[in-house]
Amino acid sequence: MSEKQKRFETSYSQGLNFAVLVDRQTGVNYLMTSTGITPLLNPDGTPIVTVEEKKQS
């Protein structure tokens, strides 16, 4: 990862209430609110992971 690239990407936000962030290194999704951050989990308790597709040149 380049130094200029941010570690987290906002995949969804709703005003100032909450946002869903994706860790670009691990793909783990997090729910961020004004009071904290927590990983989003599948029904079986494993973290929700977003796989980033690599762009072909």
Task: Specify the pLDDT at position 54.
Answer: 59
E-assigned strands of 15-57?
Answer: 18-23, 29-33, 36-39
Q: How high is the pLDDT of residue 48?
A: 98
Q: Using CA atoms, how far apart are residues 50 and 35, in angstroms rounded to an integer? A: 24
Which residues are CB-neighbours of 22 under 8 A, at least 6 positions away?
Answer: 8, 9, 11, 28, 29, 30, 50, 52
- Evaluate if residue 55 carries a pLDDT over 80: no
pLDDT value of residue 35: 94
Q: What is the mean pLDDT of the chain?
A: 88
pTM above 0.75, yes or no: yes
pLDDT tens-place string over residues 31-52: 999 999 999 999 999 999 999 7
**Domain chopping of the chain, boundaries:** 1-50
- Cα separation of 19 and 43, whole Å? 20
